[in-house]
């Protein structure tokens, strides 16, 4: 399986599934080393998602789909046990809707069939992966076409091959825009506390031979004031029905800064990230992670004794600050109706 994938078109493949075995590149260890982890059960897959071995909304969804296949092989005829595995898997992270979307799709297939059939579930999981690859390609074209020649762009977090099945969402647009000659300058926010920008986006851009510069988050306002950026381009973890966007913490700040400086804001995400059941961003659960992640990212072995932290890892950007939302179904502009 996975023979549908082409590294030259679709970027690096961070999730490998050969019909039996699931392997994930350990994103916590990039760019220092490329370590692959074997994932043998839905429980292990859930832990890999919680621990950020694999992260990024579409990649989490694809991993969950493959995990459902592993669980079906383990459970045999035990449908109730499999359903319990799926409920557990869905809890691995709360904000990215792609996780529950993928689990629901696998569950619906099982309910239709009335039993566990690992082979047909494997086919479905592979088609979920393939659909994401195709969506990435389409979004890359649509998003890139919005960008005027000679533009500068700033992106946040990691939204490339590591975060998706294919070339990426926001980063896919950026790669296409550079290759089309529309984008002349690329900046990547380092993205605290896990440094997805400086560790992962920089790693992907270097592999793609794209010249770019990393900035610390605090430099975004000065960068925009310098006139070097025309678009902020990000992905999304969940898009509410009214166009509010939950994405990596710091996205909201970039959107506010962008509006102040006359810079446009583009959000790129597959339709699997649009959550029609959530009316607005206020209803999106924002994941909070432990304070220690901030201290470790700061290079400190431990927190000063007793020091607490507020560590939400996503925020909500109001729809009115977003100029365009690009999905594989088209380019949406305010007022958002999907
Ligand atoms: O905590 P992470 O690394 O999973 O957060 C990822 C993001 O916020 C991405 O921008 C989002 O999932 C879109 S990935 C195509």
Task: With residue 69 as reference, give the H or E element that holds it.
Answer: helix 57-75
Residues 131 and 155 in one domain: no
**pLDDT mean by block of 10 residues, the chain; 338 residues:** 60 90 96 97 98 98 98 97 98 98 98 96 96 97 98 98 97 97 98 97 97 98 98 98 98 98 98 97 97 85 79 98 98 96
The helix, strand and coil proportions of the chain, stated in percent and rounded to the nearest 5, come to 45, 15, 40
Instruction: Determine the pLDDT at residue 6.
Output: 63
For ligand 1, say whether the CB of 237 is within 6 Å of any of its atoms.
yes
On whether both 260 and 178 belong to a single domain, the answer is yes
My answer on whether omega of the bond before 161 falls inside 30° of 0, hence cis, is: no
Same domain membership, residue 212 and residue 123: no
- CA 239 to ligand 1 centroid distance, Å: 13
Domain C-terminal end among 93, 118, 136: 136
40 falls within a domain: yes
| 57 touches 32 (CB < 8 A) | no
Pocket test for ligand 1, best of 62, 169, 237 (most atoms within 8 A of CB): 237
Q: pTM for the whole thing?
A: 0.97
What is the structure's pLDDT at 299? 79
**Atom of ligand 1 at shortest range from CA of 169:** 15
Distance CA 54, CA 164 (A): 10
Using the atom order of ligand 1, give the atom closest to the CA of residue 168.
15
Q: Is the CB of 159 under 6 A from ligand 1?
A: yes
Q: CB–CB of 10/25 below 8 Å?
A: no
State which residues form the domain around 211. Answer: 140-332
Ligand 1 neighbour 75 (Cβ under 6 A):
no
Instruction: Tell whether 148 and 108 lie within a shared domain.
Output: no
Q: Do 174 and 254 belong together in one domain?
A: yes
Same domain, 48 and 167: no
114 phi and psi angles, rounded to 5 deg: 80, 5
Kindly state if the Cβ of 136 falls inside 6 Å of ligand 1: no
CATH number, position 35: 1.20.120.420
Q: Does residue 174 fall inside a structural domain?
A: yes
- Helix (H) or strand (E) holding 264, with range, is strand 264-268
**Same domain membership, residue 304 and residue 164:** yes
Final residue before a domain boundary, out of 117, 136, 155: 136
Q: According to the model, what pLDDT value does residue 304 have? A: 76
Catalytic site includes residue 237: yes
Residue 5 within any structural domain of the chain: no
| Nearest atom of ligand 1 to the alpha carbon of 170 | 15
195 and 124 together in one domain: no
**74 Cα to the center of ligand 1, angstroms:** 30
User: What CA–CA distance (Å, rounded) separates 167 from 151?
Assistant: 21
* 236 Cα to the center of ligand 1, angstroms: 7
Choosing from 10, 85, 189, 237, which is the catalytic residue? 237
Residues 274 and 184 in one domain: yes
Q: Which of 11, 24, 30, 56 to mutate to test the pocket of ligand 1 (most atoms within 8 A of CB)?
A: 56
Find the helix packing angle between 57-75 and 79-90, rounded to 10°. 160
How many folded domains does the chain comprise?
2
Expressed in angstroms and rounded, the spacing between residue 268 Cα and the centre of ligand 1 is 11
Q: Same structural domain for residues 182 and 50?
A: no
Q: Determine the angle formed by the axes of helices 57-75 and 97-113, rounding to 10 degrees.
A: 30
Write b or e for each residue in 12-41: b if 16 or more Cβ atoms lie within 10 A of its Cβ, otherwise e: bbbbbbeeeebebbbbeebeeeeeeeebee
Alpha-carbon span 320 to 322, nearest angstrom? 6
Nearest 5°: phi and psi at 217? -55, -40
pLDDT at 178: 98
Ligand 1 centroid – CA 209 distance (Å): 22
Burial of 249 (0-12, 13-18, 19+ CB in 10 A): buried
Among candidates 43, 44, 37, which has minimal Cα distance to 16?
37
SS3 241: coil
Residue 118 Cβ contacting ligand 1 at under 6 Å? no
């Amino acid at each position: 399986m996975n023979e549908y994938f082409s590294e030259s078109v679709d970027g690096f493949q961070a999730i490998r599934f050969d019909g039996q075995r699931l392997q994930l590149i350990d994103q916590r260890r990039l760019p220092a080393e490329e370590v692959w982890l074997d994932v043998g059960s839905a429980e292990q897959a859930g832990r890999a998602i919680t621990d950020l071995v694999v992260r990024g909304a579409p990649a989490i969804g694809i991993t969950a789909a493959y995990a459902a296949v592993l669980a079906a092989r383990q459970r045999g005829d035990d449908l109730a046990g499999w359903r319990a595995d799926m409920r557990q898997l869905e809890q691995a992270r709360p904000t990215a809707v792609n996780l529950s979307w993928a689990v629901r799709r696998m569950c619906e297939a099982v309910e239709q069939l009335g039993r566990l059939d690992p082979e047909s579930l494997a086919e479905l999981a592979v088609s979920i992966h393939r659909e994401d690859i195709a969506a990435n390609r389409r979004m890359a074209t649509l998003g890139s076409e919005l960008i005027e020649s000679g533009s500068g762009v700033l992106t946040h977090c990691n939204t490339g091959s590591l975060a998706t099945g294919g070339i990426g969402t926001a980063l896919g647009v950026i790669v296409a825009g550079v290759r089309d000659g529309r984008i002349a300058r690329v900046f990547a926010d380092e993205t605290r506390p896990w440094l997805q920008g400086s560790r992962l986006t920089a790693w992907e851009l270097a592999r793609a031979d794209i010249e770019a510069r990393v900035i610390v988050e605090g430099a975004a306002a000065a960068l925009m004031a310098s006139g070097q950026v025309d678009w902020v381009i990000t992905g999304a973890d969940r898009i509410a029905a009214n166009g509010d966007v939950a994405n990596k913490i710091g996205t909201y700040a970039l959107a506010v800064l962008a509006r102040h400086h006359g810079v446009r804001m583009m959000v790129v995400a597959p339709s699997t990230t649009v959550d029609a059941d959530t009316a607005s961003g206020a209803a999106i659960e924002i994941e909070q992670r432990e304070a220690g992640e901030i201290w470790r990212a700061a290079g400190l072995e431990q927190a000063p004794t007793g020091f607490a932290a507020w560590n939400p890892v996503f925020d909500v950007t109001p729809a009115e600050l977003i100029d365009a939302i690009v999905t594989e179904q088209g380019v949406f502009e305010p007022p958002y109706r999907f």
